[in-house]
Amino acid sequence: MKRVFFGCIAAILVCVWVGVASAEYKKTMKLASALPMDHPYMVGSKKFADLIKDRTGGRIVIKLYPSNQLGKGEREMTEGIQQGAIDLLITSTGPLGGFCPSINILDFPFLFRDFEHVDRVLDGSIGRRLLDDFEKADIKGLAFWENGFRHLTNNRVAVRNVGDAKGLKIRTMENKVHLAAWKAAGLNPTPMAWGEVYTALQQKVIDGQENPVAVFYSSKFWEVQKHFSLTQHVYSPSPLLMSKKTFYAMPKDDQALFVKTALEVAKFQRKINRDAEEAKLKEIAAKGVAVVRNVDKESFRKAMAPVYGAFSDQFSRADIEAIMNAR
Ligand code: PAF
């Protein structure tokens, strides 16, 4: 009886202490991304910032820094997260393998069939394990938001199959799996920070690039690209990352609130991204870009397949199959 009584007192004291600690904690945080305010990354970020402000009664304010304001690309901004100079970052997995190698498993071509498959993997135990792995790199992985399925665009030729794309000089993300996949397919890939891509396309230093519809649209790439082929060669997830320093400096209640809110906004962010894709594609076509819808994806899949073997020392067949067969 005595033990139960003292147990209850201890529990009440802990609750009061956490409550006070949360009530006293105040911070203004910086959330960065490479993309502008109209891109789903930032629409999701705005919702996240609004919810956190509401739910903490204004104690935590998140300021938004779109369009590479805090670094010339996602690699540099991820370094900012590690150092604690940036508090939150929404980024593709592009450069993240250099910080947390296990995340590269999501970068293999034709790994995901469709959005349903994506959600099953990223919202299940595999996704959670990959987010938790970021801890080793002094980063807190909050949730998987979305960039989308990537497609090839260029200035030279209407690409209907992998043969049409041979020899094209394209920009890739700073990602070794992507780089190897494009080399295997017979293109001439160059890794480049995102901040340099528009100018490189404009000056014809490169012929093309590959990204989801929403990125092409928000970056106004119709000004510098003539052909858009729906290759859907790889799914590009976007983890919402937080500086470990900032995360663990918050009281426990706020930590839980950030994780819960990030997961909640993930559902919203993926939905608005997917729902708007077809309308954006139609607008891109209306701007004069030749959109090739019936691409022979099988030709790309076959040409890129050797990349799975090339990284077999890092990613086991069993782990790859666990993703492919997730039902
Ligand atoms: O191509 C990239 O680098 C990324 O997809 C981008 C556009 C920065 C969005 O995460």
What's the confidence (pLDDT) of residue 298? Answer: 98
Ligand 1 centroid distance, CA of 172 (Å): 9
Report the amino acid identity of residue 134: F
Task: Indicate the pLDDT class of residue 21, thresholds 50, 70 and 90.
Answer: low
Ligand 1 centroid distance, CA of 11 (Å): 47
Q: Which CATH class is domain 25-324?
A: alpha beta
Residue 10's contacts (CB-CB under 8 Å, 6 or more residues apart) are none
What's the confidence (pLDDT) of residue 181? Answer: 98
**Sequence spans of domains, the chain:** 25-324
Output 12 or 175, whichever has higher pLDDT.
Answer: 175
What's the confidence (pLDDT) of residue 22? Answer: 80
Question: Which residues, judged by CB distance below 6 Å to any ligand atom, belong to the binding site of ligand 1?
Answer: 34-35, 74, 91-92, 94, 147, 173, 194, 211, 215, 236
Residue whose tokens read 């590690």:
82
Output 149 or 10, whichever has higher pLDDT.
Answer: 149
Residue 311's contacts (CB-CB under 8 Å, 6 or more residues apart) are 104, 108, 177, 180
Average pLDDT over residues 295-309: 98
Ligand 1 centroid distance, CA of 212 (Å): 9
Task: Indicate the pLDDT class of residue 11, thresholds 50, 70 and 90.
Answer: very low
Report the amino acid identity of residue 231: T
Ligand 1 centroid distance, CA of 147 (Å): 8
- Assess whether pLDDT exceeds 80 at residue 4: no
Nearest CA to ligand 1 atom 7: 215
Average pLDDT over residues 248-269: 98
Of residues 36, 31, 62, the one with CA closest to residue 49: 62
Radius of gyration of the chain from its Cα atoms, rounded to whole angstroms: 21
Average pLDDT over residues 237-253: 98
Average pLDDT over residues 180-195: 97
Task: State which H helix or E strand residue 249 sits in.
Answer: helix 244-249
Atom of ligand 1 nearest to the CA of 171: 1
| Model pLDDT for residues 188-206, shown as the tens digit of each residue | 999 999 999 999 999 999 9
Query: What is the number of other CB atoms lying within 10 angstroms of the CB of residue 246?
Result: 18
Distance in angstroms (rounded) separating the CA atoms of residues 64 and 316? 39
- Percent of the chain with pLDDT strictly greater than 90: 92
Distance in angstroms (rounded) separating the CA atoms of residues 92 and 85? 19
- Assess whether pLDDT exceeds 70 at residue 8: no
Atom of ligand 1 nearest to the CA of 150: 5
Average pLDDT over residues 231-246: 98
| Model pLDDT for residues 78-123, shown as the tens digit of each residue | 999 999 999 999 999 999 999 999 999 999 999 999 999 999 999 9
- Assess whether pLDDT exceeds 80 at residue 12: no
**Residues 231 and 152 sit within 8 Å (Cβ to Cβ):** yes
The per-residue pLDDT of the chain, averaged, comes to 94
- Assess whether pLDDT exceeds 90 at residue 19: no
What's the confidence (pLDDT) of residue 276? Answer: 98
Of residues 97, 91, 99, the one with CA closest to residue 34: 91
- Percent of the chain with pLDDT strictly greater than 70: 94
Distance in angstroms (rounded) separating the CA atoms of residues 90 and 238? 6
Average pLDDT over residues 249-270: 98
